[in-house]
Amino acid sequence: MRTNRIELPPYPSDEDHAPLLVDLALAEVVFARDVADGDLVLGIADLFGRVEYHNDQYTARPQPFDPTCQCGGCNTYDAAEGPFVNLGDDNQWQVCDSMPAEWLVVIVRAAHLA
């Protein structure tokens, strides 16, 4: 499900952020549980419309949330408070990008990527 209520702010062009490799006009905000394999993850958003872009974009490789994973991204969550999703660890942090399934994620769908 797409969430259209959030207006994306301009992508920061500073030394903390890698150059954006896609057209921001293609980006959309979806629930974390709806991120699909190959989608490009740009950042996260909250229900108040605030958007926080990651320092670099990465390609989502969703996998089941594993509460026993000790990567540093998963073990900050208590599985009993789930559901959580794991967008994969093929990213700049080298740990799983796990989060509550209802969090909002800024992505560009794989279908829009060349």
Are 108 and 42 spatial neighbours (Cβ–Cβ below 8 Å)?
Answer: yes
Counting contacts by CB under 5 A, is residue 6 touching Zn ion?
no
Phi then psi dihedrals of residue 17, to 5 deg:
-120, 130
Q: Which is nearer to Zn ion, 20 or 32 (CB)?
A: 32
State the nearest-atom distance from the C-beta of 71 to Zn ion, in Å: 3
DSSP string, 69-111: --SSSSTTS-GGG--EEE--S-STTSS--EEETTSEEEEE-GG
Q: Which of residues 44-83 bind Zn ion (CB under 5 A)?
A: 69, 71, 73-74
Residue 20 or 69: the one with the smaller Cβ distance to Zn ion is 69
Residue 99, interface with Zn ion (CB under 5 A)?
Answer: no
Query: Where do contacts with Zn ion occur on this chain (CB under 5 A)?
Result: 69, 71, 73-74, 96
